Amino acid sequence: MIMAGRRTPCDLRPARCALRSAPCALHGVPAPFGKRGEPTGLDRAWTVLLFILAAAVLTTGTASANARRTAMGDVITARNGAAGSANVAFRAIPTALDQPRIIPLPIGLAQVAISPPTFNTDDPDFSAVEIANLLLDPPFDLRLTSPPSGEDARIEVRVAKDEIVFDLGEAQSLVPAGAFEHGGRFGMDLFSSDLGFVELGMSPLFIARTRIDLSDDLRGALRNAEPLTSSKVYAVDQMAEAQAAMALGVAVARQVAGPDPAFLEVAEPAYAADGWRLYAGAGFRYLLGLAYFDNSGRVDVIPAEPLLDPDDPTDVSVHSIMRTSVPGSPGTVGHGFALDLGVAALEGRTWEIGLGVTDLAGSIVWRTNVEEMTLDQTTGELVTRTLAENQRHRSKLSPQTTLNLARHWGGTTLATDVRHGIDGLSYHLGAETRLGIYALRGGAILDGAGLLQATGGGGIRMGPVGLDASLFTSSANLAEKRALLLGLALAIY
């Protein structure tokens, strides 16, 4: 009960989703979904499927599918399989370094499948924060510690004649200090064939980005317990875009300067002789669009005057535009292209430097359906109407630029890189040393949000098979607090 002029403590646990009737990212999930009590098989099946898809589109630089690279601060070098994702010129460097094929082990999915979240907003165990955190940091890796959810925090509501104050206590950390932005790009080679003069390849490509921003008045009310008054408009702006495509590519990479290694009778010709060698590469990828989603909208809340006047309820307006192209609809296959460029220089067995750009001038043309969603002021129901069908729309890809530097001493490597792409500007530092069949690794990341992350791990090779493990922190959650994760991957040599 709220009592005017008094502080009223309130447990946040039974009110985890205060906006149950408002539109959300889970709009359209069939009900019932997640009934009270023990998780059902349907809960687990849908949860695993959802997060397999989410992992593909939201994987960011902090958690690579390559556990070796993750343990080294996710740093890029010519020796860790970054030719397809960072620098096409790396393809020209001989592969005598025994580069393995990496098979990630999604051990985090089992953790979520055992105890999946519920998507039923009527369930007392429903937690919008938990679901949002899992989507922002998909559970391919085993979560050893969890970020704060705020569900155990207690809030205080203070009511006066002309104002209301919500003091969220510890849950204030869940309210971002500025606009919340998150983006990720995921791609890996499914198939490649070296024809001598060119290399052909096929790979899936998933890209997603989202942005949520609160008005200054709403942020102050939730984060700093500033009074809500009837003289202000409290607003939320949001944008989300996701696209999936299959990339069919052709790439050319060659040594363009430096000593010719062809006459050298050594095991590692690219690294065996003194002197610098310069490599250059270019690639063209045709993008077959598979699915597209884009949504942008705004919610405005205008308190009544006076605040608690029963004859003048609070005015809420909702407006959003959604653009979709999904499999199965006529004309939904998209068509586009992207360019990759790169240069790299190597000095004997020691120094390595590279500059690569992927997704340059990339775009996909879709045929989309456009819908508008508004809140009916009379009935309080969300109303959707179709604005256009089969409308042409061009989505653009954010190019990623990578500048890397590495120094090798036999079985020891120290490397760093700077990257700019859909997830902002990030810095990576990593090291690796090999001791017989064992390897030790460590690193650090300054991510796109300006937060420092730590990484480490090791590996063991047993003939043609290796096992790599990585321990790393990630702040990809609403509170932007570090969580500790464990990743595993098989390496096939």
Residue 33 near residue 47, CB atoms below 8 Å: no
pLDDT at 251 over 90: yes
pLDDT tens, 95-144? Answer: 534 577 788 888 888 877 787 777 776 777 777 677 777 766 677 788 89
Mean of the per-residue pLDDT values of the chain:
78
pLDDT tens, 348-379? Answer: 778 999 999 999 999 999 999 999 999 888 88
Residue 190 lies in a domain: yes
Q: What is the pLDDT of residue 364?
A: 95
CA separation for the pair 469, 65 (Å, rounded): 11
User: Cβ neighbours of residue 317 under 8 Å, at least 6 residues apart?
Assistant: 299, 300, 302, 374, 375, 377
pLDDT at 29 over 60: no
**Beta-strand runs (E) in 268-350:** 276-302, 315-325, 334-347
Q: What is the pLDDT of residue 56?
A: 45
pLDDT tens, 153-184? Answer: 567 777 777 778 877 776 676 777 778 787 88
> Structurally, how many domains does the chain consist of?
1
pLDDT tens, 460-489? Answer: 999 899 999 999 998 877 667 788 999 999
Residue 331 lies in a domain: yes
pLDDT at 30 over 50: no
Q: Choose between 21 and 398: higher pLDDT.
A: 398
pLDDT tens, 387-400? Answer: 998 899 999 999 99
Residue 449 lies in a domain: yes
Q: Choose between 12 and 418: higher pLDDT.
A: 418
pLDDT mean over 275-304? 90
Residue 481 lies in a domain: yes
Q: What is the pLDDT of residue 262?
A: 54
Residue 2 lies in a domain: no
Residue 384 lies in a domain: yes
Percentage with pLDDT > 70 across the chain: 74
Q: How confident is the model at residue 63 (pLDDT cuts 50, 70, 90)?
A: very low
pLDDT mean over 217-244? 85
SS3 66: coil
CA separation for the pair 219, 215 (Å, rounded): 6
Helices 41-58 and 107-114, packing angle to 10 deg: 140
pLDDT tens, 418-466? Answer: 999 988 899 999 999 999 999 999 999 998 888 899 999 999 999 899 9
Residue 310 lies in a domain: yes
pLDDT at 185 over 90: no
CA separation for the pair 91, 251 (Å, rounded): 9
Residue 313 near residue 305, CB atoms below 8 Å: no
User: Cβ neighbours of residue 355 under 8 Å, at least 6 residues apart?
Assistant: 87, 342, 343, 344, 401, 402, 403, 404
Residue 409 lies in a domain: yes
Q: What is the pLDDT of residue 261?
A: 59
pLDDT at 308 over 80: no
Q: Which of 75-79, 224-228, 338-342, 441-445 has the lowest mean pLDDT?
A: 224-228
pLDDT at 331 over 60: no
What range does the domain containing 140 cover? 7-492
Q: What is the pLDDT of residue 377?
A: 80
pLDDT at 35 over 60: no
Q: Choose between 328 and 72: higher pLDDT.
A: 72
Q: Which residues pair with 377 in a beta bridge?
A: none
CA separation for the pair 420, 42 (Å, rounded): 40
Q: What is the pLDDT of residue 258?
A: 85
pLDDT mean over 243-248? 92
